[in-house]
Amino acid sequence: MRIDIITIFPEMLTEPFNHSIVKRAQEKKLVNIYLHQLRDFTTDKHKKVDDYAFSGGAGMVMMIEPIAACIESLKKERDYDEIIYTSPDGEMFDQPMANSMSLLKNIIILCGHYKGIDERIREHFITKEISIGNYVLSGGELAAAVITDALVRLLPGVLGNEVSALSDSFQNNLVAPPVYTRPRNFRGMQVPEVLLSGNEQLIEEWKHDQSLERTKVRRPDIIKE
Ligand code: ADE
């Protein structure tokens, strides 16, 4: 998979992709992530990429020319399956969306800022708009990091144990069961006996019951009938 991210703050994204699973996925060439500084695509001598809204009011709007130039230069090199814009009014990102997007080959993520981007970009260049939650971030970079992380861990070969992505919370419309490690007893707080029993079937049943109970209590909204 190839992910091209267009941003005015590429530095905000270098660290999130430089650790742990996403870092290893890049080292193994299972994903290539490219950060593009939007300011490199403006002809303005002050590298300006925003301007006042025609409607007036507070807040600057990201201009169409540099964004179009950047997207077009990428599209000249290869076809893209999706050109994504991160925005609080986009479609809500969730695990099914991550699953299907993880099958794509090439995607662009455009990170928004200020009051938004010139609507003509959304109409003519963007193929998908994604929100990561019902709150407003200062910019799209953190959303791009969240989306990238969720996709990369699903790519075949990225997680050492292939089943572990499938047993994540949400993959079967259930949240994950609780997990424990040593010591068995910490100040009288015990690990559930069943987990020490060595009985695989009992343990699986316990995990499933725990998942179901937790989902009912914590996330009744995601549970399947
Ligand atoms: N940009 C600002 N807020 C956002 C959100 N909630 N999701 C995606 N992009 C955003």
pLDDT digits (tens, 9 = 90+) for 12-38: 999 999 999 999 999 999 999 999 999
Stated pTM of the model:
0.94
Note the pLDDT of residue 45: 96
* Token pair recorded at residue 163: 């089943």
Note the pLDDT of residue 163: 57
* Number of other residues whose CB lies within 10 A of the CB of residue 5: 24
Q: Quick one: pLDDT band at residue 169, thresholds 50, 70, 90?
A: confident
Distance between terminal CA atoms of the chain?
34
What is the spatial distance between Cα 175 and Cα 169, in angstroms, rounded to a whole number?
A: 4
Output the residue whose Cα is nearest ligand 1's atom 7. 131
Task: Report the percent of the chain where pLDDT is more than 90.
Answer: 88
For residues 148 and 155, is the Cβ–Cβ distance under 8 A?
no
Q: Quick one: pLDDT band at residue 170, thresholds 50, 70, 90?
A: confident
What would the pLDDT profile of 103-122 be if each residue is shown by its tens digit?
Answer: 999 999 999 988 899 999 99
What is the spatial distance between Cα 174 and Cα 66, in angstroms, rounded to a whole number?
A: 43
* Number of other residues whose CB lies within 10 A of the CB of residue 179: 9
Which domains, ranges and CATH numbers included, belong to the chain? 2-152 (3.40.1280.10), 169-224 (1.10.1270.20)
Cα(113) to ligand 1 centroid in Å equals: 9
Residue 46 has pLDDT above 90, yes or no: yes
Cα(160) to ligand 1 centroid in Å equals: 31
Cα(138) to ligand 1 centroid in Å equals: 8
Return the sign of the alpha-carbon dihedral for residues 90, 95, 98, 99.
negative
Q: Quick one: pLDDT band at residue 162, thresholds 50, 70, 90?
A: low
Question: Which residues have C-beta atoms less than 6 Å from ligand 1?
Answer: 86-88, 112, 131-133, 135-137, 140, 143
Output the residue whose Cα is nearest ligand 1's atom 10. 87
